[in-house]
Amino acid sequence: MTDQAGAKKFLEFLPLGGADEVGRSCYLVGDGERYVMLDCGTSPKKDQIPNFEPLKGKKLLAVLITHSHRDHIGALPWLLEKNKNLKIFSTPLTKELSYIILKDAVRVRRRRGEPSPPLPPENVWETREYGEAFQIDDGISAVFRDAGHIPGSAQIVLNWDGATILYTGDICTFDTRMGGNFEKWEEADVVISESTYGAEFSRPDATTSIISAENSLIEEMKNVLQQKGRILIPVFATGRAQEIMYVIASAMREGKLPRVPCYSIGMMNHMLDVIGKDPAYREKVATIWECFTRIDFPRGVDANPEADERFRKIRDSKKPSIFVATPGTLQEGASSNLAIKIFDEKRSAIFIVGYQDEDWPGWHLWKMEEGGKFRIGESELTVKCRVKKFEIRGHAHPKHIIENIKRARPKLVLFVHGDPKARHQMHRYSRLEIKKCRFLSHLGETRVRFKVRTGKYDLSPLPGAPPTES
């Protein structure tokens, strides 16, 4: 089965989720006998898990994890429930952050009365530093490369009998405040690339635009505080939360923002404890804590914030202040509880940063006309405060992805982790700029069998019925 270069003639790519969506990232790469899984996430919408049906009868060697976002790790409890001794590999920071996220998700599901498998046992989860190559099986090894997306995030370079397969996970190719050590791609035979912002080729260069977004956020925050208003920034626990907090803390340190009380409310506090232990982030995390007061809920972010006296006190105070609170969706928990109060304050503002899905309340709030009505649970509230979105992103600009494809000179590129328009645009622009390469971008229920040395492929339906909704 091997050619002269030692590479297996054919390899397979099976997307169990995430090929046609941002969510449920979970891909199998294999040679027909042995398989390795890349990420194992849930959908942010309904905790939906990947389609594990194609795993039946296959020898799964290990699961390799890129980073601790739920769309890349959320389904691990389900996978491990059926494959108890399966080895998991990630960077050390990703392992620690993932357990915080997974523990919280299990607790939330159980509180809602939904069934939840237990956490993956810690002893099957091994860690490797960036650049530390490790053996998975005979002729199969892997190495993590910094992805620059969030602390601990990695790209995976898989070596399969001499063939190199690069899986990007989520990448951020430009420097951000808390991250930004993206390792440029080296030569690879096949690339599996994210395409989150693939539809935005015309946007200005990412580094310039993130700096201007940060500056305008600080400027707007200053205006609100001068008018004695309050500011709520709903965030996800890892990534943008730390980024925004560091932007605010630095601005206060530099005198660009007045020193008002700042509160960090929710799960990102635990994340900061873990991230702050890493020498690369220690100083930055210390800067954040110089400025922010932490409010923790003993039973996780999803616990009833109403029950916390300190939380109620700061929520009901009318003094100018800044709240960075989870969850970023505004669905429930601290951010939603604060929003209910702030909606009614004309001088105050809710600033949205980062990704919002159309199904989330945060998206509707952002799209709303001034004075619109917002529904939370049973109540409908008039939004009197200001609402604005700032593009503070943690994903690569599509042009940077194309630059990296040129550098890696693969024979085949598979675009995943993007909405249909994003994947379509990535495909179109890449094909225009890069000639000796094949591209695929609509792979939802398709198995790809490809020849490593040429990129020639054939497609067949993926075994097993896909889950009903995505």
**Site for Zn ion, rule CB under 5 A:** 69, 71, 170
Strand partners, 388: 351
Shortest distance in whole angstroms from residue 111 CB to Zn ion = 25
Shortest distance in whole angstroms from residue 348 CB to Zn ion = 30
Q: Is the Cβ–Cβ distance between 194 and 18 less than 8 Å?
A: no
Determine the length of the chain.
470
Shortest distance in whole angstroms from residue 18 CB to Zn ion = 8
Q: Is the Cβ–Cβ distance between 107 and 116 less than 8 Å?
A: no
Q: Map tokens 């700096």 to a residue.
A: 211
Query: CA-CA distances (angstroms) from residue 89 to 62, 160, 195?
Result: 8, 17, 24
- Classified as helix, coil or strand, 303 is coil
For Zn ion, which is the closer residue by CB, 229 or 418? 418
Q: Is the Cβ–Cβ distance between 130 and 120 less than 8 Å?
A: no
| Amino acid occupying residue 405 | I
For Zn ion, which is the closer residue by CB, 170 or 308? 170
Q: Map tokens 């700032």 to a residue.
A: 390
Shortest distance in whole angstroms from residue 69 CB to Zn ion = 4
**Which DSSP string do the residues of 312-328 spell out, in sequence order?**
HHHHH--S--EEEES-T
Shortest distance in whole angstroms from residue 7 CB to Zn ion = 29
Shortest distance in whole angstroms from residue 168 CB to Zn ion = 10
For Zn ion, which is the closer residue by CB, 342 or 414? 414
**Cα distance between residue 109 and residue 117, in whole Å:** 10
Containing 458, the helix (H) or strand (E) segment is strand 457-461
Shortest distance in whole angstroms from residue 271 CB to Zn ion = 13
For Zn ion, which is the closer residue by CB, 240 or 411? 240
For Zn ion, which is the closer residue by CB, 31 or 170? 170
**Cα distance between residue 141 and residue 415, in whole Å:** 23
For Zn ion, which is the closer residue by CB, 153 or 335? 153
**Cα distance between residue 46 and residue 107, in whole Å:** 15
For Zn ion, which is the closer residue by CB, 95 or 230? 95
Compute the half-sphere exposure of residue 41: CA atoms within 13 Å on the CB side of its CA.
Answer: 27
